[in-house]
Amino acid sequence: MEATAGELERLVVGRGLASREQVAAAAGGAADALALGQALVRARLLGPAELAGLLGEVSGAGAGAGGGEGEDRVGPYVLGPEIGRGGMAVVRRAMHSGLRRPAAVKLLRGGAAASEERRVRFRREAEAAARLRHEAIVPVHDVGEWRGTPWLAMDLVEGDTLDRWIARERPTPREVARLLRPLCDALAHAHSHGIVHRDVKPRNILVGTGRAYLTDFGLAKLLPSADGPAEESPITHEGALVGSPLYMAPEQIRRGFGDVGPRADLFAYGCVLWEACEGRHPFAGAATPLEAFHRICEEEPGAPARLPRGLEAVCRRALRKSPEERFADAAGMGRALDAALAEGAGPPARRVRRRLAAAAAPLAIAAGALAFGLAAPGDASETRRLAAEAQAHRAAGRTAEAAEVECRLAWRLLDEGPGRDPAAAEDAARRAVGLAPDRWKCHGALGRVLAERGRPAEAATAYRTAIALMRAARESPHEYAALLRRCEAAAREEKP
């Protein structure tokens, strides 16, 4: 039997959570327990987590068997076949028995034996979703617990995850960008309500009926907002990594790049957009998560093959290492994406550079130096920007910041492609070491450059210095392991 508003009211009043008058004032004619519960949450008489527990109690009385992954019913939902499975939960097609409305029901794997961390994460998804109402976010309608198994019910999206949809449909970059454009508005909506998703990735984006939807707020960070307080009990211990490795912003990977805030979602969105348009992740090629972390924190994406110029510029700004260098907010990124889509198709930037180089070749015969300037290395504007930024920091006496930028410039000059210039990369790395001789990153960058230039003995010395500085600072253990491997490789090459 479906739970009634009266049953929930008796439970709320009986436990002293609200008076009968307060419930009546908030109810507004609610006819069932769910509608009343939502009204009480809006009136701030109940929290989402409290509502979840109460609904589980009142709906469980006549619900029949349920709760486990293989059982047929939870609360008012009759469960159908499994439509998705992840490390934490199983998603099943379902039907609301009273409203005859299709839904997707997510059940926490492990049931009553699930760890407290998993339960908190599951509850957080419901709490985050309760703050949000946006057409590009999959809404959560109902939450509960049956025989120890937490569950939540959300809209059923008839479609597939973004990665599978792209593999099947093979869309053009502009089609992908148009599809994903509303997610900028979805993120802006979430951020305005004090929610940072922290796990934007292709598998958390559903595509159905020609539209994209953001889902799974299980790793969301709840910030103070008008809709509620900040999170009170974090689900991870201090220093733990939160997110999916290939889509984590540098500030999620380690401290020192800034607090993990809304701009971390913009970095992940930039990764998703680049990968979906290009068919290749911007930091692809890493064999391990540790190597992926290093690429994300230290390297720049290579030249794209399919991305039009405007879309590439949007992605590159979103993928800046420092949060302050990215878009100010998701709405601003959406406007930049609109402008890029309005520019027209345009060939990928790499092809334009090749055409410019070909056009400049005849000029080289008549005016060699000038033509050389026209046929500048790939994405020379970004190289010039980094060089100018480093110079500005040096002029202002900000040596640490200048060293940081010189390291990034060195990594960029080592990129494969027409812009590769190992000699200039060495100059940048040596300037970084001169500016900040006590920073392990500068010596590590120099070691990488020297190894690329075929000087293993010097590379091993630079790596050893970087490792010693890192040990002294007691920081970045994952990067320490990567440096140690490079040092050992350089030492092997050093031996006759």
| Among 360, 374, 462, CA closest to 410 | 462
Residue 294, C-beta contacts closer than 8 angstroms, at least 6 positions apart: 286, 478, 479, 482
| Among 493, 490, 441, 489, CA closest to 466 | 441
Q: How does DSSP classify residue 113?
A: G
Burial class for 344, CB neighbours closer than 10 Å (0-12, 13-18, 19+): exposed
Single out the catalytic residue among 32, 199, 265, 415: 199
Distance between CA atoms of residues 135 and 186, nearest Å: 8
| Among 198, 153, 199, 160, CA closest to 179 | 160
Phi-psi region of 4 (alpha: psi -120 to 50; beta: other; left: phi over 0): beta
Q: Is the Cα torsion angle 245, 247, 252, 258 positive or negative in sign?
A: positive
Count CA within 13 A, CB hemisphere, residue 256: 9
Distance between CA atoms of residues 341 and 347, nearest Å: 13
Q: What are phi and psi of 461, to 5 degrees?
A: -65, -45
Distance between CA atoms of residues 6 and 23, nearest Å: 10
Place of tokens 């008549």: 366
DSSP calls for 205-220: EEEETTEEEE---TT-
For this structure, is 199 an active site residue? Answer: yes
Which residues are marked as active site?
199
